[in-house]
Structure 1
Amino acid sequence: MSNYNILVIDDEVEIAELVGIFLSNEGYQVLKAFNGEEGLVLLEKENIQLVILDIMMPGIDGLEVCKRIRERWSIPIIMLSAKSQDMDKIIGLGFGADDYMTKPFNPLELVARVKSQLRRFMFLNHSAHEATDENLIRIKELTINKNNHVVTVYNKDVNLTPTEYKILLLLATHPGKVFSAEEIFEKVWEEKYYESNNTVMVHMWRLREKVEDNPKVPQLIETVWGVGYKIEN
């Protein structure tokens, strides 16, 4: 489940509730505000990672809210509007929005755009802290937090066994280095390797099932045939 907080600001209660249901089903924490003033107050009080913002609202409209958000925060903003003209989209994006959807919209498409924006945002943030945060390992869509042993792929937690975690950490802390099955076994299990031991192969398959998009065609944990396994940056 995701720990991301998403703020929906829309004066149409039915739309805000509908968006909230779809995002909650994906594991996001959803906060709702029904006007611009409420939305800005929540942004001050809560740790928000993304805002879904309606343009046409009474009081402070969405464009002004977007402008004020951009003065203080760099979080992604997806704008919603009943207007479909290209100029309206240009204006919205010009005020600092990252994406724009026209009402009525497909909630599943909105969820997909939310995921896309969060991936970009987290990737940029990770890249900015790569050199200073020694307790985090980031390779492609994989993140390993060595402090709490939390592993995420595409920003979603992956539940690994202690042995699977040790194997992954070994490979990830030596990017580009090829480890034989014997080396992996002796470093992880701290026992002498013996011939015809398929333990590493079985654990590697289970590990790939959890961290790869397609474990049959692994893109993260590569097999170097006749030698062993490696992870490349």
Structure 2
Amino acid sequence: MNDASILLVDDEQAILDMLETVLQKEGFTTISKVTSAEEALTACTNSRIDIIVLDVMLPGRSGIDVAPFLRQLTNAPILFLTARTSDFDKLTGFAVGGDDYITKPFNPLEVVARIRSQLRRYLSAQRGQHVVSHSVEESNSQSSKIYDYGRFQVNEEACELQVDGQAVTCPALVFQLLLFLCKHPNRIFGKGELYESVWGIDALKDDNTVMVHIHRIRERIEVDPSNPQFIINVRGLGYKLVQKNNKGIDAL
């Protein structure tokens, strides 16, 4: 993991230097620093990037503005860094492709913890895709674990989501959350439980993060995301992924 390529994007040089120093002390060796949205786009175009730490308040195009364009270039996790603290700002960040959100002022070690958490899932997914792309036999073998829900299928080893027979792109944490729910059908999980199980950092849990990622899953697997049939919100308790039997009745 420590050889992962990290892109830091912030217009404050002091923050870039501080984060670089902390990351180097934690063993990371491949760190790029840029101060604008345009430079971030160039970096993602010219190099492999495994995670992006992106300031929201950049000169010119903001981090929110550039995130959708970065998402077109890479599926690497995007961790927003900003002084804005409102729920609306957080939801906006997730809606444009962000995977996590840290507010300033921050503890640098918290940033490192979140980077490690994101990288574990992203690099694990990348390794799965690499193995499958080089071994068609393996991807078609009985050892591949596929969760079939009729309209959609989740291939754990290939890290692939198919909806109505078509492959659908899925950011790493969106896929990991869907996979976790597929492994535990018809079981209700609170937002905190989902955050701890998928993100792996109980102390940093954020209900909005789970809510937005559930919405992003629904956009991919539901016929009508506003009237979900698979991922159901059980009022006051949490979410569950409904698995139906061959008669179309919810399985117990």
Give the TM-score, by structure 1 length: 0.55
SS of aligned partner of 1:8: strand
SS of aligned partner of 1:52: strand
Count how many residue pairs are aligned between Structure 1 and Structure 2. 135
SS of aligned partner of 1:118: helix
The one-letter code sitting in structure 2 at the alignment partner of 1:30 is I
SS of aligned partner of 2:112: helix
SS of aligned partner of 2:93: helix
Which residue is equivalent to 1:6? 6
Which residue is equivalent to 2:79? 78
The one-letter code sitting in structure 1 at the alignment partner of 2:88 is M
The one-letter code sitting in structure 2 at the alignment partner of 1:38 is E
Write out per-residue CA displacement over residues 87-143 of structure 1, whole angstroms, 9 at most, x where no aligned residue.
1000001100000000001000100000000000011222334444469xxxxxxxx
State how far apart, in whole Å, the 2-side matches of 1:131 and 1:62 are.
33
The one-letter code sitting in structure 1 at the alignment partner of 2:2 is S
Which residue is equivalent to 1:47? 48
Shift of 1:30: 1.0
The one-letter code sitting in structure 2 at the alignment partner of 1:119 is R
Shift of 1:27: 2.2
State how far apart, in whole Å, the 2-side matches of 1:132 and 1:60 are.
36
Identity %: 39
Write out per-residue CA displacement over residues 163-192 of structure 1, whole angstroms, 9 at most, x where no aligned residue.
xxxxxxxxxxxxxxxxxxxxxxxxxxxxxx
State how far apart, in whole Å, the 2-side matches of 1:25 and 1:104 are.
20
Give the TM-score, by structure 2 length: 0.51
Alignment of 1:4-43 (within 5 A): 4-28=4-28, 29-43=30-44
State how far apart, in whole Å, the 2-side matches of 1:19 and 1:74 are.
22
Which residue is equivalent to 1:110? 111
The one-letter code sitting in structure 1 at the alignment partner of 2:42 is V
State how far apart, in whole Å, the 1-side matches of 2:43 and 2:126 are.
22
Alignment of 1:171-186 (within 5 A): none
State how far apart, in whole Å, the 2-side matches of 1:26 and 1:39 are.
23
State how far apart, in whole Å, the 1-side matches of 2:51 and 2:2 are.
13
The one-letter code sitting in structure 2 at the alignment partner of 1:24 is Q
Alignment of 1:117-156 (within 5 A): 117-133=118-134
SS of aligned partner of 1:3: coil
SS of aligned partner of 2:85: coil
State how far apart, in whole Å, the 2-side matches of 1:46 and 1:71 are.
14
Larger Rg belongs to: 1
State how far apart, in whole Å, the 1-side matches of 2:102 and 2:50 are.
19
Write out per-residue CA displacement over residues 17-71 of structure 1, whole angstroms, 9 at most, x where no aligned residue.
1111111112221110011111111222222111000001111110122110111
Which residue is equivalent to 1:67? 68
RMSD over aligned Cα atoms: 1.7
The one-letter code sitting in structure 1 at the alignment partner of 2:89 is D
The one-letter code sitting in structure 1 at the alignment partner of 2:38 is E
State how far apart, in whole Å, the 1-side matches of 2:13 and 2:87 are.
26
The answer as to 2:100 corresponding to 1:99 is yes
